[in-house]
């Protein structure tokens, strides 16, 4: 059996599971930088190889691993029930945990790290870039995720990352970094600082709507990038939502908005030439249509009205985080050159400004599609 780098801990983890056929080995899998992910390959006497995904959770990113797995188990169990009731294929439309030899849902290795084993979703693609059609297909998948989990008690989920999309908290952390100004960088980013300060009130819009009961607490994915939707090779529709580690209580507008931030533009995240950074209102329209189609009328009227706010706030929040890290000395986001976080922040703020210039149109698009 092949074990990468003769990894003794990996061998220990694999031995904790019983595989149905001859085990050929494990290979590193995917492009993620947080968890340790391997594809386990088994070969039956006849037919195609059988594959599984084995993931070791990052202790640094997710220190409360048992709580994360409690969320994972509860959400996937609920998804299986809803998918089965709808006549779907539970082995393809959600992640399915495989228990250890002693019947546990996951394995904790000798170093204290948690590992989980799931079935590999065959005949699927994990894409990094999308055509407009695939972007809309991913929207349908994330909208359906909301629909399937609409009756799940979100308040019972743990916050795997506390205050992850609390824009008020992100603003407070920005102010702290600005006041400390560890490297004396504040004097050179006055325009960016003013951009954030001018939008202080915006940072409270979503959290206030939640506090006041205008927006319902939902189960949210919180990392709604294209590569977290497996695309069916034949239909080119989203078949399964993956990477559920940040699934926790939140607002539906967060999941909608993060996808818009990520997908409704054509530039690199650190593009220096801001003339190339533009919010694509047509892609926004395509995603809105797909998301609402997938949600099947399950969003409240208030959630529909706040969808443009989701797009703006997730983009503004991301820019604030980049600027905060730049002021703080680039301690959180990995950088390849000294001004990369500043470049990243500027692209996000340019997208926010573009959204503000098309604010009325963004609302009208939602109204028209939701009719």
**DSSP reduced 3-state for 338:** coil
Strands 238-241 and 36-43: unpaired
- What average pLDDT does the segment 91-98 reach? 97
Q: What is the pLDDT of residues 110-139, one digit of tens each?
A: 999 999 999 999 999 999 888 999 999 999
Domain of 27? 4-121
Closest CA to 53 of 95, 21, 18: 95
Say if residues 316 and 167 touch (Cβ distance below 8 Å).
yes
Residue-wise pLDDT for 13-69, tens only, equals: 999 999 987 889 899 998 777 899 999 999 887 888 999 999 999 998 899 999 999
Query: pLDDT tens-digit profile of 295-314?
Result: 999 999 999 999 999 999 99
pLDDT digits (tens, 9 = 90+) for 262-288: 999 999 999 999 999 999 999 999 999
Residues 222 and 155 in one domain: yes
Say if residue 183 is in the same domain as residue 91: no
Q: Are residues 114 and 151 in the same domain?
A: no
How many CB atoms sit inside 10 A of residue 229's CB? Answer: 29
Query: Do 117 and 146 share a structural domain?
Result: no
What per-residue confidence (pLDDT) applies to 130?
85
C-beta atoms surrounding 309 within 10 Å: 23
The pLDDT assigned to 20 comes to 81
Tokens 């050159």, residue? Answer: 337
158 and 73, same domain (yes or no) = no
Whether 102 and 12 map to the same domain: the answer is yes
Q: What is the mean pLDDT of the chain?
A: 95
Instruction: Find the CATH number of the domain harbouring 84.
Output: 3.30.200.20
Q: Do 136 and 106 sit in the same domain of this protein?
A: no
Pair (187, 251) in one structural domain: yes
Q: Which of 236, 221, 73 is nearest to 147 (CA)?
A: 221
Asked if the structure places residue 110 within a domain, the reply is yes
DSSP state of 228: G
The mean pLDDT of 349-368, rounded to a whole number, is: 98
232 exposed, middle or buried (CB, 10 Å; 0-12, 13-18, 19+)?
A: middle
Whether residues 11 and 117 share a domain: the answer is: yes
Q: Is the pLDDT of residue 337 over 90?
A: yes
One-character DSSP codes across 120-166 = ---SEE--SS--HHHHHHHHHHHHHHHHHTTTS-GGGS--SSTTTT-
Residue ending a domain, choose from 62, 95, 121: 121
* Domain finish residue from 66, 92, 121: 121
pLDDT at position 221: 97
* pLDDT over threshold 70, residue 5: no
Does the pLDDT value for residue 169 go beyond 90? Answer: yes
Question: Cβ distance 324 to 180 under 8 Å?
Answer: no
pLDDT band at 1 (very low <50, low <70, confident <90, very high): low
Domain contains 236? yes
- 39, burial (CB in 10 Å: exposed 0-12, middle 13-18, buried 19+): middle
CATH of the domain at 325: 3.90.1200.10
Q: Do 106 and 253 share a domain, yes or no?
A: no
Please report the pLDDT score of residue 45 as a whole number. Answer: 78
Total number of domains in the chain:
2
């Amino acid at each position: 059996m092949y074990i990468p780098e003769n990894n003794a801990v990996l061998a220990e983890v694999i031995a904790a599971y019983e595989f149905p056929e001859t085990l050929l080995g494990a290979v590193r899998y995917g492009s993620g930088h947080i968890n340790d992910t391997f594809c386990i390959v088994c070969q039956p006497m006849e037919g195609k190889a059988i594959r599984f995904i084995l993931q070791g959770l990052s202790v640094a990113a997710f220190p409360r691993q048992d709580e994360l797995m409690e969320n994972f188990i509860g959400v996937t169990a609920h998804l299986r029930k809803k998918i089965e009731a709808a006549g779907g294929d539970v082995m393809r439309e959600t992640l399915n945990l495989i228990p250890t030899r002693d019947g546990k849902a996951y394995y904790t290795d000798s170093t204290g790290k948690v590992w989980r084993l799931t079935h590999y979703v065959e005949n699927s693609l994990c894409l990094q870039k999308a055509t407009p059609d695939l972007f809309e297909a991913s929207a349908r998948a994330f909208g359906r995720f909301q629909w399937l989990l609409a009756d799940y008690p979100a308040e019972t989920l743990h916050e795997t990352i506390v205050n992850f999309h609390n824009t008020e908290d992100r603003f407070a952390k920005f102010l702290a970094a600005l006041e400390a100004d560890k490297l004396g960088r504040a004097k050179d980013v006055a325009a960016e600082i003013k951009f954030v300060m001018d939008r202080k009130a915006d940072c409270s819009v979503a959290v206030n709507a939640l506090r006041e009961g205008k927006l319902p607490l939902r189960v949210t994915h919180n990392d709604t990038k294209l590569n977290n939707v497996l695309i069916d090779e034949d239909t080119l529709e989203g078949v399964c939502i993956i990477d559920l580690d940040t699934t926790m209580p939140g607002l539906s507008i967060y999941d909608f908005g993060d996808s818009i931030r990520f997908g409704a533009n054509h530039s690199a995240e650190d593009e220096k030439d801001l003339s190339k950074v533009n919010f694509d209102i047509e892609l926004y329209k395509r995603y809105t249509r797909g998301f609402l189609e997938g949600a099947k009328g399950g969003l409240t009227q208030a959630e529909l009205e706040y969808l443009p706010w989701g797009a703006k706030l997730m983009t503004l929040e991301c820019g604030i985080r980049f600027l905060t890290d730049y002021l703080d000395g680039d301690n959180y986001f990995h950088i390849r050159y000294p001004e990369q976080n500043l470049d990243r922040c500027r692209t996000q703020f340019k997208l926010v400004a573009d959204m503000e210039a098309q604010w009325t149109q963004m609302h009208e698009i939602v109204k028209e599609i939701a009719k």
